[in-house]
């Protein structure tokens, strides 16, 4: 290709802008997340909201779930109405306001306002920016996998810095100051995006499957309007009658987080716009999706159960200074950045070998090792008292090795498998695996208790290892689906 097609470590120039935009967006998101649990359960006299810890854990989980669930909707808005670029920009602006809400000392009201804004903002930005990465490469460009690994480094650069900066500021000075810094970070991300977006593929500037007004039949429009009215009415009535408790919100989001991807897969498989080849690919993708869901159940507890374990059951003075508990949320991304070059070489070597590992193999490994990261915590938890920070660091390093085998590879596999008419929405669907994982976690974290933490880690860890082994056994089945699709495509072209 042209010089600009290889300008950034052999990758298209557009990747630089996406790398730094996403780094700043994740800086704001993970900065906020490093503080969120502590802000919720800390006493009011310390500047917190004084929410009971078990409710707080569930709320942090559904907060995260909502942000990734919105990605399917955001993907739809991009595919059919706005296109990736405009959706990314709009999302960034909403995110800035969302973090801005938390920067105001306005209590629980601001917390829920921020949740709506940050869900809408992440929903618009996250799938569209990921799909813009995919669009930098032609369908068969072998650089796509490594492109997504570089992009994932951008995610990690933001995610490693955020707890150190936003977390420290928020935990040692003032929560709202921390959240304010997150808003500023998002603002910087927007500046970077505005400055660099001209290098993106033209595919990113328009909707991929634009909605034509005459397509929208009157009955469909009436149906949609009716559904929205019902929903608003339902929320209003339940709020007025006192049914709309925090617990009810948590449970509703948990159910939706699982129902939404199920419904979405059904729509995609049955749509006349999906070709039979694409359909076989989607079927092969479903077990991978399920594996990802259970991986995120564990990984995303870094901001809930693990964050609480860091705060209350870990010896934070072990290294001779007062370690801020939020710093543990940097460990994973730190490990990821260090190991990425090694993994890049390893994949290169393995993919060239006689029996290259399939995506299903990598995902099974991710699940097994995520389970092991929890099993590792059984021992210190059973010992009771304050455990050495090294246990948590080891556990977080393990789960991150799993993340490297699943998350960047999942993004790239999604970009490749996506039916053309659903391009950005499929990215949203991939993110919805995180939503479902956190929807499930929102229920599981209710069972955590510092006194019985060993049982908690043991049960979830063992269950996840078993799931990983199950997926390994299903590998040949998945391969058959995608190979059928590849052969059918080869016949056509």
- Cβ closer to ligand GLN: 34 or 381? 34
Give the span between the Cα atoms of 99 and 97, in whole angstroms: 6
- Cβ closer to ligand GLN: 399 or 478? 399
Phi and psi at residue 11, in whole multiples of 5°?
Answer: -115, 160
Give the span between the Cα atoms of 87 and 197, in whole angstroms: 12
| Closest residue to ligand GLN in the complex (CB) | 434
Closest distance of CB 287 from ligand GLN, Å: 17
- Cβ closer to ligand GLN: 155 or 186? 155
Which conformational region is residue 323 in: left (phi greater than 0), alpha (psi within -120 to 50 degrees), or beta? beta
- Cβ closer to ligand GLN: 68 or 264? 68
Closest distance of CB 232 from ligand GLN, Å: 29
Judged on CB neighbours under 10 Å (0-12, 13-18, 19+), 239 is: exposed
- Cβ closer to ligand GLN: 155 or 249? 155
Closest distance of CB 275 from ligand GLN, Å: 27
- Cβ closer to ligand GLN: 178 or 332? 332
Residue 455: partners with Cβ closer than 8 Å, 6 or more residues away: none
Residues making contact with ligand GLN (CB under 6 A): 26, 68, 155, 296, 407, 431, 434
Query: At how many degrees (to 10) do helices 305-312 and 328-352 cross?
Result: 130
Judged on CB neighbours under 10 Å (0-12, 13-18, 19+), 303 is: buried
Q: Tokens 């990465």 — which residue?
A: 133
Closest distance of CB 22 from ligand GLN, Å: 8
- Cβ closer to ligand GLN: 63 or 296? 296
Helices and strands in the chain, H and E counts: 17, 0
Which pair of structure tokens corresponds to residue 431?
């993110």
- Cβ closer to ligand GLN: 26 or 176? 26
Give the span between the Cα atoms of 130 and 88, in whole angstroms: 10
Closest distance of CB 288 from ligand GLN, Å: 13
Instruction: Please answer whether residues 48 and 41 qualify as being in contact, where contact means their C-beta atoms are separated by less than 8 angstroms.
Output: yes
- Cβ closer to ligand GLN: 374 or 481? 374
Instruction: Please answer whether residues 303 and 34 qualify as being in contact, where contact means their C-beta atoms are separated by less than 8 angstroms.
Output: yes
What is the DSSP annotation of 125-184? HHHHHHHHHHTTS-TT-TTHHHHHHHHHHHHHHHHHHHIIIIIHIIIII-HHHHHHHHHH
Closest distance of CB 15 from ligand GLN, Å: 16
Helix (H) or strand (E) holding 240: helix 218-241
Closest distance of CB 26 from ligand GLN, Å: 6
Give the span between the Cα atoms of 127 and 133, in whole angstroms: 10
- Cβ closer to ligand GLN: 65 or 274? 65
Closest distance of CB 407 from ligand GLN, Å: 5
Rg (CA), the chain: 22
Closest distance of CB 64 from ligand GLN, Å: 7
Closest CA to 129 of 112, 151, 98, 102: 151
- Cβ closer to ligand GLN: 128 or 407? 407
Closest distance of CB 44 from ligand GLN, Å: 31
Closest distance of CB 138 from ligand GLN, Å: 24
Residue 44: partners with Cβ closer than 8 Å, 6 or more residues away: 50
Q: Tokens 């469909």 — which residue?
A: 220
């Amino acid at each position: 290709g042209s010089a600009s097609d290889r300008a950034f470590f052999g990758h298209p120039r557009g990747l630089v802008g996406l790398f730094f935009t996403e780094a700043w967006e994740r800086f704001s998101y993970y900065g906020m997340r490093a503080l969120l649990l502590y802000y919720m359960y800390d006493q009011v006299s310390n500047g917190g909201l004084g929410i009971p810890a078990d409710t707080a854990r569930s709320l942090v989980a559904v907060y995260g779930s909502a942000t990734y669930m919105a990605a399917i909707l955001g993907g739809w808005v991009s595919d059919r109405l706005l296109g990736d670029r405009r959706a990314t920009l709009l999302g960034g602006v909403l995110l800035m306001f969302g973090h801005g809400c938390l920067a105001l000392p306005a209590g629980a009201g601001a917390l829920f306002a921020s949740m709506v804004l940050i869900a809408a903002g992440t929903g618009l930005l996250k799938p569209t920016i990921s799909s813009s990465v995919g669009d930098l490469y032609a369908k068969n460009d072998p650089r796509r996998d490594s492109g997504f690994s570089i992009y994932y480094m951008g995610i990690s650069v933001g995610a490693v810095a955020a707890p150190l900066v936003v977390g420290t500021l928020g935990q040692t000075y003032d929560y709202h100051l921390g959240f304010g810094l997150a808003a500023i970070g998002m603002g910087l991300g927007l500046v970077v995006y505005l400055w660099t977006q001209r290098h993106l593929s033209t595919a990113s500037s328009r909707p991929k499957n634009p909605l034509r007004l005459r397509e929208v039949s009157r009955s469909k429009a009436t149906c949609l309007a009716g559904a929205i009215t019902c929903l608003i009415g339902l929320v209003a009535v339940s709020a007025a009658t006192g049914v709309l408790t925090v617990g009810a919100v948590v449970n509703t989001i948990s159910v939706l987080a699982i129902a939404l991807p199920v419904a979405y897969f059904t729509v995609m498989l049955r749509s006349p716009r999906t070709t039979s080849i694409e359909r076989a690919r989607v079927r092969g993708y479903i077990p991978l999706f399920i594996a990802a869901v259970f991986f995120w159940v564990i990984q995303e507890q870094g901001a809930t159960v693990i964050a609480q374990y860091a705060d209350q059951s870990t010896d934070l003075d072990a290294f001779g200074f007062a370690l801020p508990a939020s710093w543990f949320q940097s460990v994973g991304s730190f490990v990821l950045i260090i190991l990425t070059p090694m993994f890049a070489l390893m994949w290169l070597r393995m993919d060239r070998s006689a029996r290259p590992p399939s995506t299903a193999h990598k995902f099974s490994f991710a699940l097994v090792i995520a389970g092991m990261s929890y099993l590792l915590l059984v021992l210190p938890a059973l010992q009771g008292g304050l455990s050495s920070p090294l246990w948590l660091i080891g556990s977080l390093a393990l789960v991150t090795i799993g993340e490297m085998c699943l998350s960047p590879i999942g993004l790239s596999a999604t970009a490749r498998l996506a039916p053309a008419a659903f391009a950005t929405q499929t990215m949203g669907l991939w993110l919805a695996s995180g939503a479902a994982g956190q929807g499930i976690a929102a229920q599981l974290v209710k069972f955590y208790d510092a006194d019985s933490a060993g049982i908690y880690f043991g049960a979830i860890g063992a269950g996840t290892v078993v799931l990983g082994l199950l997926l390994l056994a299903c590998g040949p089945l998945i391969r058959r689906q995608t190979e059928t699709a590849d052969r059918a495509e080869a016949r056509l072209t």
